[in-house]
Amino acid sequence: PPAELLTERRQAGGVRTILLNNPRRRNALSLPMLQSLRRDLLHDVKSRELRVIVIAAEGPVFCSGHDLKELSSEDDVKHHSQVFELCAEVMTLIQKLPVPVIAKVNGLATAAGCQLVASCDIAVASEKSQFATPGVNIGLFCSTPAVALGRSLPRKVALEMLFTGEPLSAQEALMHGLVSKVVPEDKLEEETMKISQKICESSKSVLALGKATFYRQITQDLDTAYKMTTKVMVDNLTLRDGQEGIEAFVQKRKPVWSH
């Protein structure tokens, strides 16, 4: 399909859904797919109306990872570098966005598709979903997926996935922290929207500050993390919504956020 049709973007009630929409190619993260996904993630991202982004997919495969046809020897090293660099940019972009990003997974997520799930802030999966990094089986070790995977899973679980290519079931993914919740397939939309709507009840500016701070402190040593987050807590109190929330609590009323 043309690049503009590879993803579908729709938004209502503060929730933007980005649908990976190339099921015939197992929603592979081709260069055009990555460009389309980046465009939809960044579209009007500072708008007060945007509060949550949900990444979902059409068809039985959430995302199969890179399009291997793009990685053949017919393409040069420059093209291969472009594919992997844009993929890394999209994965890191997800954590830099000022709103929470939820992966809504219903099916198989492999290689860079598994990386995409691991890179999201929250992941809700149906019971039939599976997660794998099978690159080793075709001679292409999943080194870039390993970055996200190694930060989401215990090291030995991540390495078993990377060394064997064997999939994790949805329940195993939940047990090891790759996903946040596992629900029956017919409850997936309802549960994802329930989380999204709960997020929409909070101040966008407070959540943006909190998300950015979380990812900064997670890589720091304990003393540095506490020093930095102590300052952020003070900064949070200077936000209009920081004061509004405390005043509303004291006055026993619902806060009116300015975002």
* Number of domains forming the structure of the chain: 2
C-alpha 168: how far from its chain's center? 18
Token pair recorded at residue 251: 């006055």
Q: How does pLDDT run across 36-84, given as a tens digit for each residue?
A: 999 999 999 999 999 999 999 999 999 999 998 888 767 688 889 999 9
Q: Which residues contact 249 (CB under 8 A, 6 or more apart)?
A: 255
Asked if the structure places residue 259 within a domain, the reply is no
For residues 15 and 95, state if they share a domain. yes
Within this chain, do residues 193 and 247 fall inside the same structural domain, yes or no? no
189: confidence class by pLDDT, cuts 50, 70, 90: very high
Q: Are residues 236 and 138 in the same domain?
A: no
What pLDDT is stored for residue 15 in this prediction?
98
Alpha carbon distance 124, 170 (integer Å): 10
- Within a domain: residue 164? yes
Average pLDDT over residues 102-121: 98
CATH of the domain at 224: 1.10.12.10
The verdict on 122 and 236 lying in the same domain is: no
Q: What is the CATH number of the domain that holds 146?
A: 3.90.226.10
Query: Both 208 and 176 in a single domain?
Result: no
Enclosing domain of residue 140: 7-200
Query: DSSP secondary-structure letter at 64?
Result: -
Written as six digits, the tokens of 230 are 């102590």
Question: Given 200, 217, 239, which residue is the final one in a domain?
Answer: 200
What's the predicted TM-score (pTM) here? 0.95
% of the chain with per-residue pLDDT over 70: 97
pLDDT of residue 1 exceeding 60, the answer is no
HSE of 84, CA atoms in CB hemisphere, 13 A: 15
| Residue 55 contacts residue 104 (beta carbons within 8 Å) | yes
